[in-house]
Amino acid sequence: MTQHQTKIAKFALTTPLYYVNDVPHIGSAYTTMIADVIARFKRLQGSSVLLITGTDEHGQKIERTAEAKGLEPQEHCDRIVESFESLWQKLNIQYDRFSRTTAKNHGAIVKEFFQRVWEQGDIYLAQQQGWYCVPCEEFKEKRELLEDGCCPLHPNKKAEWRDEENYFFRLSNYQEKLETLYQEHPEFIEPESRRNEVISFVSGGLQDFSISRVNVAWGFPVPGDDNHTIYVWFDALLGYITALLEPDQEAGLENALSQWWPINLHLIGKDILRFHAVYWPAMLMSAKLPLPKQIFSHGFLTKDGQKMSKSLGNTVNPFDLVERYGSDAVRYYFLKEIDCGRDGDFNETRFVNVLNADLANDLGNLLNRTLGMIKKYCQGVIPPLIIEELALEHSLKSIGLELGDRVTQAYETLRFNQACEEILTLIRASNKFIDEQAPWRLFKQGQQKEVESILAAVLESVRLSAYLLSPIIPNLSNKVYQQLGLSVDFNEGDRLQETAPFAQHSQWGKLKVNQTLTEAQPIFARLDLPQEASA
Ligand code: MSP
């Protein structure tokens, strides 16, 4: 096979389709930033990527929210969707599809899918009795509710009693098949703690769940029975399939599934794990469709160690944050400071300290002072790096040569905090290297070759760090590359394979730079604590 015939790897991933009861919160921003970082890393590696995000717009919760505002549901949804699009733009999210469950082509997909499941004999009519949490859009067992009848996720909204005829999906038919799936494909649910949670839930026995409602007008009618609308979760999960249609393609399952199915990764929060890891694969099995490759659940964010809630008034507003600190800073904090599969905390003082320490000091100052020395000691020309001349135990070479592979592994397993730590090891070692080697002294002693070797090794380390951090802080990486005289735009997605091929740029010492520098500029200005946080 020639290089041109080599198959380009494809990777499709999703965020949840967010409810539009309100403008986006930091939880939705968090998942979306993670998804964008994965998508960018895959593009950097040369994969063809489809990043899907979008909104979940039907159901009782949205219907009631619109009514309370005196708006038609569609009007309300359209307004909120704008705020999602605007936040994704501010956070520099490069999504390929924005899937709205009220989009024209979605109804046809839902109908066709429902019919497939119906023909399979997996849908039947029966009486549904139980406690329904509207904000969760989910029936709850009595034992799952707090003493006052609220669900723990929504302590201000009492679950409502329902006793009505619904269509049910025969989830119970799929218990064994799901158990086999989890066993044969342990990677299907990550991280392991979540997999265990699901396995234990399924082994307790699966009950059929209702997939229609009789008193909710805002949804798709059940095919053949207009008295019912389709349950919002059944409708929403299928939004992942609708998203795969090309904008001008005729809506139908076959078309939608032809290019990008099965999806490689569904990124979600832990509260919606059951829907994705149990209901969704069972629905797909019933429709005789291949399953997604992986469901990855991240943890929950707290603020200053406390659960965030509107009633406590301690939510973190993602719009304010990005306005105040810029997109790279926000992205960096959430990716570096939180172990992705676990709960994590937002604290503004820590936010400012981490950004100042890592990006302003360790990375920014390193670049700035090294470029200053290039100007002073090397007539402003970056000297060539001759790695064969460096000893194997050279402190930057030894870390640098392994870094690309280590960081790749960390990104591929969604350990972004580890990817950052690995890169910081090289950055910190570079600062130490300069301090110890003291090129200013060597220059005075006339040891020009040594000076050049030290500065070249440090700049190569900064370059590599910027390259490997580019999925997280693309704008900052652009600035670093620019100052090194390399014209690469890390926001250019699909073109990166040409402008900065992974095999070359992700490795220490493989790139030949011989560049006359322009004036060095600080790449990241130190952040100040806001008044209230520093008080
Ligand atoms: N509409 C459904 C998803 C349907 S997918 C076919 C939904 N939407 S949501 O807007 O309520 O949730 C969006 C995401 O935000 C979920 O992944 C949820 O886990 C996440 N978070 C909500 N609060 C969160 C935190 N405090 N911290 C981190 N993520 C949180 O559910």
Residue 151 among known ligand-binding residues: yes
Q: How many of the other CB atoms lie within 10 Å of CB of 535?
A: 6
| Distance between Cα 279 and ligand 1 center (Å) | 17
Given CA atoms 70, 71, 72, 74 in this order, what sign does their dihedral have?
A: negative
CA atoms within 13 A on the CB side of 82: 5
| Structural domain that includes position 472 | 347-505
Query: Model confidence over 457-469: pLDDT tens digits?
Result: 999 999 999 999 9
Tokens of residue 222, six digits: 């059940």
| Residue 268, ligand 1, Cβ within 6 A | yes
More confident residue, 517 or 134: 134
| % the chain with pLDDT above 90 | 87
Domain containing 437 — which CATH number? 1.10.730.10
Q: Flag whether pLDDT at 143 surpasses 70.
A: yes
Residue 17 to residue 5: CA distance in whole angstroms:
36
Per the listing, tokens 């002693």 go with: 445
Q: Nearest-CA neighbor of 463 among 379, 385, 406?
A: 385
Confidence at 3, pLDDT banded by 50, 70, 90: very low
Confidence at 411, pLDDT banded by 50, 70, 90: very high
Q: Flag whether pLDDT at 186 surpasses 50.
A: yes
Q: What is the DSSP letter of 379?
A: T
Query: Model confidence over 101-112: pLDDT tens digits?
Result: 999 999 999 999
pLDDT the model gives residue 8: 82
Query: Would 177 be classed as within a structural domain?
Result: no
Q: Flag whether pLDDT at 425 surpasses 60.
A: yes
Query: Would 441 be classed as within a structural domain?
Result: yes
Residue 142 to residue 158: CA distance in whole angstroms:
12
Query: Would 470 be classed as within a structural domain?
Result: yes
| Residue 27, ligand 1, Cβ within 6 A | yes
| Residue 237, ligand 1, Cβ within 6 A | yes
Q: Which residue, judged by its Cα, is nearest atom 8 of ligand 1?
A: 18
pLDDT the model gives residue 311: 73
| Distance between Cα 418 and ligand 1 center (Å) | 24
| Distance between Cα 195 and ligand 1 center (Å) | 19
| Distance between Cα 308 and ligand 1 center (Å) | 13
Residue 196 to residue 184: CA distance in whole angstroms:
14
259 in Cβ contact with 180 (< 8 Å): no
Residue 136 among known ligand-binding residues: yes
Q: Are strands 294-298 and 301-303 parallel, antiparallel or unpaired?
A: unpaired
The total domain count for the chain is: 1
**508-512 contacts: CB < 8 A, separation 24 or more?**
508/387, 508/396, 508/397, 508/400, 508/401, 508/403, 508/404, 508/460, 508/461, 508/464, 509/385, 509/387, 509/397, 509/400, 509/401, 509/460, 511/460, 511/463, 512/384
Residue 383 to residue 432: CA distance in whole angstroms:
20
| Residue 18, ligand 1, Cβ within 6 A | yes
As a whole number, mean pLDDT of residues 327-331 equals: 98
Distance of CA 463 to the CA centre of its chain: 25
Q: Nearest-CA neighbor of 420 among 458, 355, 465, 362?
A: 465
pLDDT the model gives residue 510: 85
Could you list the beta-strand ranges (E) of 57-185: 97-100, 123-133, 138-140, 150-151, 154-158, 160-169
Query: Would 224 be classed as within a structural domain?
Result: no
346 in Cβ contact with 302 (< 8 Å): yes
Query: Would 305 be classed as within a structural domain?
Result: no
Residue 154 among known ligand-binding residues: yes
CA Rg, the chain, in Å? 26
Confidence at 2, pLDDT banded by 50, 70, 90: very low
pLDDT the model gives residue 1: 40
Q: Nearest-CA neighbor of 513 among 365, 408, 378, 372?
A: 378
Residue whose CB lies within 8 A of the most ligand 1 atoms, among 271, 273, 312, for a mutation test: 271
As a whole number, mean pLDDT of residues 118-129 equals: 96
Query: Would 97 be classed as within a structural domain?
Result: no
Query: Model confidence over 233-254: pLDDT tens digits?
Result: 999 999 999 999 998 999 999 9
Confidence at 532, pLDDT banded by 50, 70, 90: low
Query: Would 403 be classed as within a structural domain?
Result: yes
Listed in sequence order, the residues at least 6 apart from 68 whose beta carbon sits closer than 8 Å to its beta carbon are none
Query: Model confidence over 351-387: pLDDT tens digits?
Result: 999 999 999 999 999 999 999 999 999 999 999 998 8
Q: Are strands 294-298 and 189-190 parallel, antiparallel or unpaired?
A: parallel
Query: Would 81 be classed as within a structural domain?
Result: no
Residue 221 to residue 210: CA distance in whole angstroms:
14
Q: Flag whether pLDDT at 533 surpasses 80.
A: no
**Phi then psi for 248, rounded to 5 degrees?**
-105, 10
Q: Which residue, judged by its Cα, is nearest atom 22 of ligand 1?
A: 27
| Distance between Cα 462 and ligand 1 center (Å) | 36
483 in Cβ contact with 374 (< 8 Å): no
Q: Flag whether pLDDT at 296 surpasses 70.
A: yes
